[in-house]
Amino acid sequence: MNKPSDLPSRRDFTRSTLFAGAALASGALRSLGANGAERSGRRIRTGIIGCGSVSNAYLPVLTRSPFVEVVSLCDIRPERARRQGERFRIAHTYPDIEAMLAGEPFEFLVDLTDMQAHEKINRRALEAGKHVWSEKPIANSLAAGQGVLRLAQRKGVRLWGAPITVESPQFAFMAKALAEAKLGRVAAAHADYGHEGPTWSAFFYEKLGGSMPDLGVYNLTTLTGLLGPAKSVAAMVAIVTPERTVEDKGRIQVTEEDNAMILMNHGGGVISHVQSGFNYFNPHGHDGAGERRHTISIVGSGGYMGLAARASPERDRMDRRASFVRG
């Protein structure tokens, strides 16, 4: 069994993949010859929209990136943009996408807004000729996502969408083990991701929200990446907690699923199961720091492989570790 200490961490993954995205965007500008970006080594002027909780993961990375110059922030709650601007020394802040586009010039938009807002914001930025990195999803339906992609292609700009789990070193480790047939003939996989549910905003529980687009999407991406596209899918969803109290709206009715189970047939006899939910007790808290159980597992005729989260001893951050056991 591989030692967890020998394997890459989630912190390293986050830093390297965000840097890579910014580097790719910078290279795209040079190759397109847009806005005088032919000059090599130039940092791409970047605007970030959405200054809530997720921005706390992005801003420390992007403001230190050698490929990025963060020039503006935007949030429908202007005080959040101003607060992050002061914290990260970003002078220009705006209350909406139109003001942002009319303000300090930038080339690359990072969209960290609510899930329901992504399609509209991504479309507007692409129409304005901006490259776009979007948190998941880029849109709220397959047809809408395809339309956003066609718009990017028509405008000659680049579009990226999270999650990017398939770019992680943990994914590479697991994919290599499968390619080398270290598990024998693969039979099944399981993945779960859940917690007690976000308390800071209602959008998770409103139309087009839910645990599947917020949490399940990570494991759906990972397992289809490792095992191949789903040939067929079956699913069941439910609402366990019909009312919740959240910070931005108080007591609300839950209209979207907070409990989801998905079965995928990958062909060749391989079946996988993904579950997600906002009713999962976890003594390790929302981020799972300290988690030791496998949250992704793959089993075959000759071995078992799992991905676990556990606290890094040298820092208060969560690491993701992959390992396999031969039969």
Q: What is the pLDDT of residue 23?
A: 52
Between 214 and 309, the higher pLDDT residue:
214
In angstroms, rounded to a whole number, what is the distance separating the alpha carbons of residues 137 and 116? Answer: 9
Q: What is the pLDDT of residue 13?
A: 43
Domain 165-326 has CATH 3.30.360.10: yes
Which residues, at least 6 apart from 179, have a Cβ–Cβ distance to it below 8 Å? none
269-302 pLDDT, tens digit each: 999 999 999 999 887 766 666 777 788 999 999 9
Residue 233 is encoded by which pair of tokens? 């899918």
Q: What is the pLDDT of residue 41?
A: 72
Please, are residues 265 and 235 in contact by the beta-carbon 8 Å criterion?
no
pLDDT grade for 121, boundaries at 50, 70 and 90: very high
Between 205 and 320, the higher pLDDT residue:
205
- Does 59 have pLDDT greater than 50? yes
In angstroms, rounded to a whole number, what is the distance separating the alpha carbons of residues 107 and 103? Answer: 12
Closest Cα partner for 34 from 96, 105, 94, 102?
105
Q: What is the pLDDT of residue 17?
A: 52
133-175 pLDDT, tens digit each: 999 999 999 999 999 999 999 999 999 999 888 888 889 999 9
Would you list the domain boundaries of the chain?
4-161, 165-326
The mean pLDDT of 164-190, rounded to a whole number, is 93
The listed range with the strongest mean pLDDT (18-32, 224-238, 303-317) is 224-238
Which residues, at least 6 apart from 37, have a Cβ–Cβ distance to it below 8 Å? 26, 29, 30, 44, 107
Residue 308 is encoded by which pair of tokens? 């676990």
3-class DSSP state for residue 136?
A: coil
Q: What is the pLDDT of residue 20?
A: 54
Which residues, at least 6 apart from 320, have a Cβ–Cβ distance to it below 8 Å? 9, 10, 13, 168, 170, 307, 308, 309
User: If one looks up domain 4-161 in CATH, what number appears?
Assistant: 3.40.50.720
Whole-prediction pTM: 0.82
- Does 127 have pLDDT greater than 50? yes
